Amino acid sequence: MTSYKIEFAPIQGYTDFIYRRVHDHIFHGVDTYYTPFLRLPQRNKDIKDVSILHNDMNRVVPQIIGGNAHEMAVLTQGVYDLGYRHLDVNFGCPFRMITLKGKGSGSFKDVPRMGQLLDFPSDMAVSLKVRLGYDNPRQIMELMPWINAIPLRSVTVHARLGIQGYKGDVDMDAFQSVYDACEHPLYYNGDVNSTDEGVAILDRFPKLAGLMIGRGLLADPALADKIKVALDLRDGLAQVISWNDEEQQSLYRQFHTELFNEYSAYLEGGDHQILQKMQTLWAYFLPSTDKKVLKMIKKCTKLDKYRSICSSMKLL
């Protein structure tokens, strides 16, 4: 089995504890899942999302976002008190309401102040999720001496600037500079949407610890498994690839059915809320689905109708 790791990126609104748990149950290629960020003031739904009743602490890392040392300390302590000894810090969020407060990628507007936020309990394994900067890729290089000076479990770099949001080109040259300078296990993140793209990144940057993937996994929940199989085949660690259409379809069906059942059991807002949750999933899920069918799913207003569309697609 390849030694490269694949991590499931946190995605607010999608990778909640039910999603993570079901994904982990059906697919096997992801090594670590991250919670969407926790912030102050804490929201009930975020507290539930990190509850140890719902999460395997060996597989799930809570993520926090803060704009000053006090916020960082409160959030870190909260996660620590729950029993987690792993923590991820978000220095990447591009949303204006966050960056205006000097949080997420907005932290890069003042790199020395950001460096001072990097102070964590010694028995906490901390990872950072960063961008190349807020509006200039030199910002990550300015922060690098601070990053290299503290003990970290890993650093994940989304190879874009905060001002780009989630669109526009990833900057592989700027990522190369980080790759050359970073002394911690490093993960690449950004636009890995296919097996070939994943393998190509690891070929170009062989010393990476692995990849963090978000939207590519939401679109194809088997992507991490596929990348690992491809790496094993290439390295002669596996000989047969068994991704035939029927087996794949059966995994997607199990995944979708289990998600549907778990959300139906957990959500208390009735059919409408379940339908909304499932429609949100389809913003990314199986994008090669017939466009007319996708439109029917997105427009449908009754849960029964949703069920019948999905059963005609052999997904329920």
Ligand X SMILES: Cc1cc2nc3c(=O)[nH]c(=O)nc-3n(C[C@H](O)[C@H](O)[C@H](O)COP(=O)(O)O)c2cc1C
What does the binding site for ligand X look like in residue numbers (CB under 6 A)?
9-13, 36-37, 63, 90, 92, 129, 158, 166, 189-192, 213-216
Task: Closer to ligand X by CB, 162 or 216: give it.
Answer: 216
Task: Closer to ligand X by CB, 12 or 176: give it.
Answer: 12
User: Is 209 within 8 Å of 187 (Cβ atoms)?
Assistant: yes
Q: What is the smallest separation between the CB atom of 129 and ligand X, expressed in angstroms?
A: 5
Task: Closer to ligand X by CB, 21 or 129: give it.
Answer: 129
Q: What is the smallest separation between the CB atom of 57 and ligand X, expressed in angstroms?
A: 19
Residue nearest to ligand X (CB): 214
Q: What is the smallest separation between the CB atom of 14 and ligand X, expressed in angstroms?
A: 7
- Number of neighbouring beta carbons within 10 Å of residue 130: 25
User: Is 280 within 8 Å of 13 (Cβ atoms)?
Assistant: yes
Q: What element of type H or E holds 22?
A: helix 17-26
Q: Estimate to the nearest angstrom the gap between the alpha carbon of 60 and the chain centroid.
A: 11
Q: How far is CA 72 from CA 60, 293, 306, in A?
A: 19, 45, 42
Task: Closer to ligand X by CB, 93 or 111: give it.
Answer: 93
Q: What is the smallest separation between the CB atom of 35 and ligand X, expressed in angstroms?
A: 8
Q: Rounded to whole angstroms, how far apart are CA atoms 103 and 89?
A: 11
Residues 6 or more apart whose Cβ sits within 8 Å of residue 24? 30, 33, 56, 59
Q: What is the smallest separation between the CB atom of 210 and ligand X, expressed in angstroms?
A: 13
Q: What is the smallest separation between the CB atom of 299 and ligand X, expressed in angstroms?
A: 21
Task: Closer to ligand X by CB, 37 or 252: give it.
Answer: 37
Q: Rounded to whole angstroms, how far apart are CA atoms 89 and 107?
A: 12
Angle at the Cα of 32 from the Cα atoms of 31 and 34, rounded to 5 degrees = 160
Task: Closer to ligand X by CB, 6 or 22: give it.
Answer: 6
